[in-house]
Amino acid sequence: MQFKEIKFPEYIQKSCYDRWRSEVLFQGWGEHYRSQVPFLFGLCSSYRRKVLEEIEGFDPYFKISGEDMDLSFRLQHAGYRLVYNPEAYVYHMRSDTYQSIVRMTYRHCFWGFVAQRKNSIYQNKVSFAVSIRTFIRQILSSGLAKLDFGYAGLTIRLHLVILRAWIDSRRKDALVLSYNSKQKYEWEGHTTHFTAAHNIPEKE
């Protein structure tokens, strides 16, 4: 079985926070069709209902993030293949402030790390080496070289947020705490705009 995913460009680029999000928290696998990807991203993906029922749907413990990775990993465990299709688009209509990008970065990374730990699959969008190169490039080329010290500082602060999310997810009780959390989650109000859709291929 194949599942296709559509591209998810970060449409709004009003601030350095939006720019950082598009460079680090991007939701897509590039410009080329890929017959197998580690996971699909959020709402820019489609699934057959019977397959979701087969794996008992989304895990309710993932309240506002990480559910896409968890679902993808469970689909792979069930023998399904995840396919990336760059020919369809969804535009991510989100704009961030400093406070919202910090919250979003922590939430996105923490729940993603928890999903990896739960399923014993440790796959990320990019390798550790690429992450380090991106970090250095953002500080030097996108920040200091352009005398944009604010962006360089933002990059350091947000990568520390990612590190904190990873450390928190490694705690022995992280899964229990996340499963039993009574925290109220606030939806931050971003919208999407679909521009194309594609059929899902038949089961192989």
What are the domain boundaries of the chain? 2-194
The two tokens of residue 15 are: 């601030």
Tens digit of each residue's pLDDT (9 = 90 or more) over 120-144: 888 777 667 777 777 777 777 776 7
User: Among 53-67, 71-85, 125-139, where is mean pLDDT lowest?
Assistant: 125-139
Q: pLDDT class for 6, splitting at 50, 70, 90?
A: very low
Asked whether residue 72 carries a pLDDT value surpassing 70, the answer given is yes
Helix or strand or coil: residue 180?
coil
The answer to whether the CB of 151 falls within 8 A of the CB of 106 is no
Strand order, beta sheet including 191-194: 2-7, 81-93, 191-194
User: Among 18-22, 56-60, 144-148, where is mean pLDDT lowest?
Assistant: 144-148
Asked whether residue 79 carries a pLDDT value surpassing 90, the answer given is yes
Point out which residues pair with 5 in neighbouring strands.
Answer: 45, 84
CA dist list (Å): 151 to 12, 77, 113, 141, 157: 17, 40, 25, 10, 10
d(CA 102, CA 159): 10
Dihedral sign from CA coordinates of 20, 87, 116, 104:
positive
User: Among 65-74, 92-101, 102-111, where is mean pLDDT lowest?
Assistant: 92-101
Half-sphere exposure (CA, 13 Å, Cβ side) for 163? Answer: 9
The answer to whether the CB of 64 falls within 8 A of the CB of 185 is yes
The two tokens of residue 97 are: 């402030």
- Provide mean pLDDT across the span 56-66: 88
- Provide mean pLDDT across the span 37-64: 87
pTM listed for this prediction: 0.76
Helices 98-119 and 67-77 sit at what angle, rounded to 10 degrees? 20
Query: Could you tell me which of 111, 101, 134 has the C-alpha nearest to residue 23?
Result: 134
Point out which residues pair with 3 in neighbouring strands.
Answer: 82
d(CA 109, CA 164): 9
Point out which residues pair with 193 in neighbouring strands.
Answer: 91
